[in-house]
Amino acid sequence: MLLDVSRIEAFYGASQALFGVDLSVAEGEAVALMGRNGMGKTTTIRAICNLNPPRAGAVRLGGADLKGRRPHHVAKLGIGLVPEGRRCFPNLTVHENLVAAARPGRWTLDEVNALFPRLQERYAQMARSLSGGEQQMLAIGRALMTNPRILILDEATEGLAPVIRQDIWRAIRRLKAEGLSILVVDKTLSELLPVADRCVILENGRSAWSGKAEELTTELQDRYLGV
Ligand SMILES: Nc1ncnc2c1ncn2[C@@H]1O[C@H](COP(=O)(O)OP(=O)(O)O)[C@@H](O)[C@H]1O
Ligand SMILES: [Mg+2]
């Protein structure tokens, strides 16, 4: 397994949010991390990246235990995070954001331009002046520029206009097609399920169901994802 998350528990202060989350992502696999609001998806992702380190359980990347690694070191080891809320450096230009964490590999400025042509037109602008959709593209471009072994996307299409969402999904499908390993959280099942090889569903901070995307019946969707 490329990413192996085993029985992790995480807390906010004294309040426990994760009670045992298991998930794995194989090389070249796209895994959808699912569950209703507040079930622990973002907390799981933050625990994987040691932004909120797990208090129990283990996270391994390519077999190496990530315990005790600083978040920037986790990034260096190959986890490219597109965090919830599309955080970029607001007072750096688009170009500066892209090169800030760049590491050599398949993803270069030219390749990010080809993926998101809209970004190139904005190169000299401050990130804060971009539209929400452009900031999201920048956040994805930034993560790709680190040439990660796995890309993690937390609600990357949330709150964006439909045409921009389509651009983002097109990019995600391309990344999947070229074999990038992906862990993705998104509410739009009609876009998410065709991309996902497997799904892991969280309920109240625990892994409640996992299986192939085509095994996620409407009954299971109603039970775990319905409102
Ligand atoms: N900063 C925080 N402080 C305290 N509790 C939090 C914080 N962020 C999230 N939580 C709680 O942790 C649980 C999981 O939240 P989260 O991981 O954000 O869920 P999801 O991403 O699935 O919507 C929820 O009960 C939420 O209220
Ligand atoms: Mg979330």
Q: Pull the structure tokens for residue 144.
A: 């790709």
Instruction: Name which residue sits closest to atom 4 of ligand 1, judged by CA.
Output: 12
Provide the pLDDT for residue 86.
75
Ligand nearest to the CA of 36: 1
> Half-sphere exposure of residue 24, counting CA atoms within 13 Å on the CB side?
12
Nearest to 141 by CA among 93, 188, 186: 93
Ligand nearest to the CA of 39: 1
Q: Is 37 in the pocket of ligand 1 (CB under 6 A)?
A: yes
Provide the pLDDT for residue 85.
87
Segments in the chain below pLDDT 50: none
Instruction: Name which residue sits closest to atom 16 of ligand 1, judged by CA.
Output: 40
Q: Pull the structure tokens for residue 190.
A: 């009609």
- Structural domain boundaries in the chain: 3-224
Provide the pLDDT for residue 20.
97
Provide the pLDDT for residue 92.
95
Provide the pLDDT for residue 18.
98
Nearest to 144 by CA among 164, 118, 114: 114
d(C-alpha 176, C-alpha 182), whole Å = 7
Name the DSSP class of 93. Answer: B
CA of 40 to the centre of ligand 2 (A): 7
Q: Which atom of ligand 1 is nearest to the CA of 40?
A: 17
Q: Which helix (H) or strand (E) holds 106?
A: none
CA of 17 to the centre of ligand 1 (A): 7
At residue 136, the 3 state secondary structure works out as helix
CA of 218 to the centre of ligand 2 (A): 22
Provide the pLDDT for residue 201.
98
Q: Is 48 in the pocket of ligand 1 (CB under 6 A)?
A: no
Provide the pLDDT for residue 105.
96
- Flag whether the pTM goes above 0.95: yes
Q: Which atom of ligand 1 is nearest to the CA of 84?
A: 21
The CATH architecture of the domain made up of 3-224 is 3-Layer(aba) Sandwich (3.40)
